[in-house]
A and B are shown apart, each in its own frame.
Chain A
Amino acid sequence: MQQRLQHLLGIEELTREQITFILDQSKPFQEFQKHPLKKLATLRGKTVALAFFEPSTRTRISFATAASRLGADQMNLQAESSSLKKGESLIDTVRTLEAMRPDGIVIRHSSSGAAEFVAERLEIPVINAGDGTHEHPTQALLDALTIRDRKGTLEGWNVTILGDILHSRVARSNILLLTKFGARITLCGPAMWMPRELEGLAPNVRRVARIEEALDGADVVIVLRVQTERIHEPALAPEEYILGFQLTENRLRLAERHALVLHPGPMIRGLEIDPTVADGPQSGVLEQVTNGLAVRMSLLYQLVGRAPADAPHPAKEKSNAAD
C-alpha cells in the first residue's frame, strides 16, 4: 500500500501511484455530480478552512462546493476582507484559523512556497490551491483526469502548452505531472516568458519558438491564460500576442485530429484562444470544471476525512450492494 498523503503541497513530491490513486478515487465523485441529491455525509461534523489570500473565484467556489457536497462545514477567509489588510502576518492569520479547530485548510496565496510554509507550522492537513508561480496541483490533477477520460489513458502523450509559461504555476504542475506519465512536453510562447531553465523542470521538456511547429503532432493542447495581473514587464501588446500565439482553428488543424484542448480558466476569448476553438468539439474546458469538483472532493475525502486507502468509497456505498 502506498504512502498516505499528509498534505497536498505540489505535484513534484507525488508518485505516479499516488496520482493514479487520487484520480481513481475521483471517478465515483464524477458520477456523483450527476445525482439529483448532491450531498454526502462523509465529512459531516468536519470543518474545512478556505484561506484565499489571493483573489479567486472558480477555485474557491470549486473547493467550497466540494466541501459542501461531502457534508463539511466551512470557514471562509478572503483576501479582500481579511485581516491581512490590517497588516497581520500569514502565520498569525493561519494560526488564528487553526485555533478554531478546522480539520484541514485549503490555501491560495501569491507567494511561492506559502502552502509549504503553512504546512510546516500547522498540525492540520494543508491543500495547496495555488502558491505564487510555484504550483497549482489540483489544477494539474483535474487536467490529468480530463485527459485520461477523453483519451482513454494518461500515458505518453505529446502535450503542448501555450502562453506565459514563466509566470504560470499551472504550467509547472502540469509539466511535473504529465512527465511522470511519459509525456513529451512542448512549450511555446513569447521568448521572454520561456527561459531555458524550463527545460530542466522535468525530462522531455522542450521549447519551440513558432506555434505551428509547437502544435505539429500534439495530442493535448493546454492554453494558458495571459495573466495580466501577474505580469509587470515587459508589457506585450495584445495584438502582438494574438499574432504569434493565439490558438485558432487553423492552427489547431496542425495538431493530431482529435487533439484535446484545455484551458485552466478564466479564459479571455479572442486573446489566447479563438472562441470557435473554446466552444468547439475538441474543447474540454467545461469538463475540466466538473472534474475539478470531483478531484477536490477526492482530496478532501482523503486528507480531511483521513480515510484508509482501502475503505469503501463514500460515493459508491449505496450502489455497492447492487454491483
Chain B
Amino acid sequence: MLLIKNGRVIDPASGTDATLDVLVDGGKIARVGANLSGTGGAGSSGAETRGEMLDAAGLVVAPGFIDLHCHLREPGGEISETIETGTRAAARGGFTAVCCMPNTQPVNDRASVTRGIVERAAAAASVRVWPIGAASMGSKGEALAEIAAMKDAGIVAVSDDGKPVATARLMRQVMDYCRALELPVIDHCEDASLFAGGVMREGPRSMKLGLKGIPAESESICAGRDVELAALTGATLHIAHMSTRGALQSVRAAKKQGLRVTCEVAPHHFTLLDEDVRYDSNYKMNPPLASREDRDALVEGLADASVDAIATDHAPHHPASKDVEFDRAPFGITGFETAIGLTLGELVHAGKISLPRMVELFTTGPARVLGISRKIAVGEPADLTIFSTEHAWTFRAAETASKSRNTPFDERVFRGGPMATIVGGQVVWRREAAAKARS
C-alpha cells in the first residue's frame, strides 16, 4: 500500500487538476480524494502498518508517461543498450511504459523475437515494455512481416523505423492488413532519393559546414504519400518523430478529413535547431534538427493539438561508434532522462503550452495512438509519473542509467524534472536527494 499525499493531480482523461491524495493498493489505484489517511479505504483496514507514504506536496502527480518511440537495442545491440539499462533510464526519465522499435538484430519481424523481448522485459525491465513489430521482413521493404503472430506475442504497433516503409505499394498492403488487425502503422517518413546520403537538414548551416543536406521535403513528401494511403485504406497511421511544417500540414489536413492519422514530436526537435549543429555527432539524428520555421510550426502543433504525443526517439549508440567524423557517425541521441526537463523548459515555462497539455502529450495522447486508455481512476493500474515543475537539477551524461552517452544535453541545467516513477504500484525510481532536500 502506497499513499501519495498532497500532489497536484493532473488527469487529462477526467479533466482533473486539483490537490489530491492517491492511494495505491495491490498494484492498482484504490482511492483518489482529499485527505486520505491510508487506512481509510473501505475494506482496506489494517493496511496502515504496511503503508508507505510519499509526500508529493508541490509536485505533479500524473498518469504514467508513455514513450511511443525508443530503441532498447536488445537483442543484438547490447554494447549500446539493453532492456534492463534502457528501462532504468526510462524510469529515471519518468516513463512508466516505453514502445521499443523493431530495428534490433535480428529485427523484430516474427513472434519468436517479440516473445524474447517480452520475456526479457518481464525479467529485467524497470518499466513496461511494449514492443513494436516490423512492417516488413527484416524491415527490408519486400515481404510482410509476421504481423498477426507478433500481435499475439504482444506488439502494439508496426513500423520499419530507421527507414520508411519502402514503397507506396507495400505501405498500402501493410495498412490494409493492419486495419484488419487493429494495429497502428507507424512510419518514419523519408523519401530515400531526396535523402540521398544527407547528414543534416539542408539549409544555410549545412552549406556553411559543407555537410550534405537533407531537404525538408524528404519527410513531407513521404508523409503526404502515407496520408493518402491512410485515406485509401482506412488504416490508423502514426507519423514518427515529425520534424517539418510540411508533414504537419498533411497531418492537419488528414485530421480535418476525419482520418485516423496521428503524429509525435521528439524533444530535441523543439529544443535545438539546424543552426546549432556543430561537427559533433551528438547533433546528428534522423530526422535532422529542423530549421527555425519548421521548429516554430512544430511548437504551434504541440500547442493546438495537431500533435498527439511527445516521444523521445531514445537512440543509444556506443561511444566508439559516435566518436567519429560527423558524416560517418550513426544517427540518433539518447532521450529518456531529458524529455520532461526539455518539455517543461522549452514549452511549459516558455508559455507555449499549459501543464495539463504537457501531461496529455505524454499520457492520453500516446495512449490514443495505441488505442488504449490512460487515467487516474479507481481500479486502474497504478502507473504514475510524479514530477516537479521547479526543481533545479543538472543532467550529466556520465550519470545516466543508459549504457550510452550520446546526448547534446550533457551538463544542461533544468528547471523541473521527474521525481518518482511508479509502475504497477511499485516505486521503480525516485530522486532521493531531492525528496529529502525539499520540504
Q: B-contacting residues of A (Cβ < 8 Å)?
A: 12, 89-91, 109, 111-114, 116-117, 131-135, 169, 172, 195, 197-198, 200-201, 232-233
Contact = CB atoms under 8 A, between A and B. Distances in A.
Contacts of A117: 279, 325-326
A112 B326 contact: yes
A26 B307 CA distance: 59
Interface in B192-213: 196-197, 202-204, 206-212
A134 B210 contact: yes
Contacts of B326: 111-113, 117
A200 B325 contact: no
B210 A201 contact: no
A131 B208 contact: no
Interface residues of B, number: 20
A132 B208 contact: no
B207 A91 contact: no
Given A112-B326, A132-B210, A169-B210, A89 B204 contact: no
Nearest to B206: A197
Contact of B327 (A112, A116, A172): A112
Given A91-B324, A172-B210, 4 more contacts: A197-B202, A197-B203, A201-B208, A232-B197
What 9 A-B pairs come out closest when comparing CB atoms?
Answer: A113-B279, A134-B210, A111-B325, A112-B210, A197-B207, A133-B210, A200-B204, A197-B204, A111-B327
Residue of B206, B207, B323 ringed by the most chain A CB atoms within 10 A: B207
A197 B208 CA distance: 9
Nearest to A195: B207
A132 B325 CA distance: 11
16 contacts: A89-B324, A90-B324, A91-B323, A111-B327, A112-B327, A117-B279, A132-B211, A134-B211, A135-B210, A169-B210, A172-B210, A197-B202, A200-B204, A201-B207, A232-B196, A233-B196
Contacts of A198: 207
Contacts of A112: 209-211, 279, 326-327
Contacts of B204: 197, 200
Interface of B: 196-197, 202-204, 206-212, 279, 320, 323-328
Residue from B202, B279, B324 with most neighbouring chain A CB atoms (10 Å): B279
Contacts of B207: 195, 197-198, 200-201
A77 to B, nearest CB: 16
Contacts of A113: 209-211, 279, 325-326
Nearest to A90: B325
A89 B206 CA distance: 24
Contacts of A195: 207
Contacts of B320: 89
B125 to A, nearest CB: 33
A202 B183 CA distance: 51
A233 B202 CA distance: 16
Contacts of B323: 89, 91
Nearest to B199: A112
B325 A114 contact: yes
Nearest to A198: B207
Contacts of A135: 210
A175 to B, nearest CB: 11
B214 to A, nearest CB: 13
B289 to A, nearest CB: 16
A12 B207 CA distance: 13
Contacts of A89: 320, 323-324
A75 B209 CA distance: 29
Contacts of B211: 112-113, 132-134
Contacts of A232: 196-197
A13 to B, nearest CB: 12
A86 B324 CA distance: 16
B279 A132 contact: no
Contacts of B206: 197
The winner among A113, A117, A133, A169 for most chain B CB atoms within 10 A is A113
B204 to A, nearest CB: 4
Contacts of A91: 323-324
Nearest to B205: A197
B342 to A, nearest CB: 26
A83 to B, nearest CB: 15
A134 B328 CA distance: 15
Contacts of B202: 197
B212 to A, nearest CB: 8
Nearest to B328: A111
